[in-house]
Amino acid sequence: MKLFVGLGNPGTKYAQNRHNIGFMALDRISEDYAFGPWRSKFQGQVCEGKLGDTKVFLLKPSTFMNLSGQSVGETVRFHKIPLEEIMVFHDELDLAPGKMRLKKGGGHAGHNGLRSISAHLGADYARIRLGIGHPGHKDAVAGFVLRDFAKADQDWLAKLLNGISDGATYLALGDESKFMNTVALQTAPPRSSKSLKLRPTTITSQAQIEEVTRNPMQILLDKFK
């Protein structure tokens, strides 16, 4: 069992804010993989489904960002989920827009959502850092993260969310390298590979996973077997 947590603020007022990119990532996974309906539970919105053979809970805390740990803590204690099975998707000022990094453990770097989760659970959980860029001055950060994504952001944002959804099964299986590579195929696709332009959505079997991740050289060698 895995727990994917998306960080953001509840309500339509904040739905398209940069701070809510974690919510957006979970919404995309839920939609693409036909998860069950969202339900109000554990001071948040919860739904569940399967990625490959792995049962996955998706959680969007409804406590507002700086109290996210209350919702996550309740969910973890009820389902007895080990910290190493928790993945938290959140906005990252220190990454360029559209970039993504996966990090296990560490500090909260001033992110109030992570600060709250770490206060309730400790720091030994994984973070999926989703780059939104930086406004250039620390005094402008609050206004920047609480504003909607600009029209100019929509292209890279769509590619990033597509990549996260495409690679979600790998993340659930614990294959972080393939997850990162799948996201990269969307955000920085190879120029010469026409075969990688189509999204490998809703990967559900090991056979499909192996097919998607074969590189062009492997495909060429297979022709001569």
Domain CATH for 134 = 3.40.50.1470
Under the banding of pLDDT at 50, 70 and 90, the label for residue 218 is: low
**pLDDT computed for residue 189 by the predictor:** 73
**pLDDT computed for residue 191 by the predictor:** 66
Give the residue numbers spanning the domain of 218.
Answer: 2-223
Question: In this structure, how many other beta carbons lie within 10 angstroms of the beta carbon of residue 93?
Answer: 18
Locate tokens 């079997």: which residue?
205
Dist CA 129 CA 32 (whole Å)? 21
Q: Rg of the chain's alpha carbons, rounded to an integer?
A: 18
How many structural domains are present in the chain? 1
The model's pLDDT over 61-111, given as tens digits with 9 standing for 90+, comes to 999 999 999 999 999 999 999 999 999 999 999 999 999 999 998 888 889
Backbone angles phi, psi at 101, to 5 degrees: -135, 150
Locate tokens 């770490």: which residue?
118
Percent of the chain with pLDDT over 70: 84
Question: Stretch 119-134: mean pLDDT, rounded?
Answer: 96
Of 51, 75, 48, 50, nearest to 61 by C-alpha is 75
DSSP E strands in the chain: the ranges are: 2-6, 39-41, 44-51, 54-61, 86-92, 100-104, 126-131
Quick check: 56 pLDDT over 80? yes
Question: Stretch 172-187: mean pLDDT, rounded?
Answer: 95
The answer to whether 7 and 113 have CB atoms below 8 angstroms apart is: yes
Q: Which two tokens stand for residue 67?
A: 């109290």
Active site residue 19: yes
**pLDDT computed for residue 109 by the predictor:** 81
Dist CA 209 CA 167 (whole Å)? 10
Instruction: Tell me the average pLDDT of the chain.
Output: 89
Active-site choice (19, 79, 90, 134): 19
Backbone angles phi, psi at 144, to 5 degrees: -65, -50
Q: Which two tokens stand for residue 160?
A: 């990033």
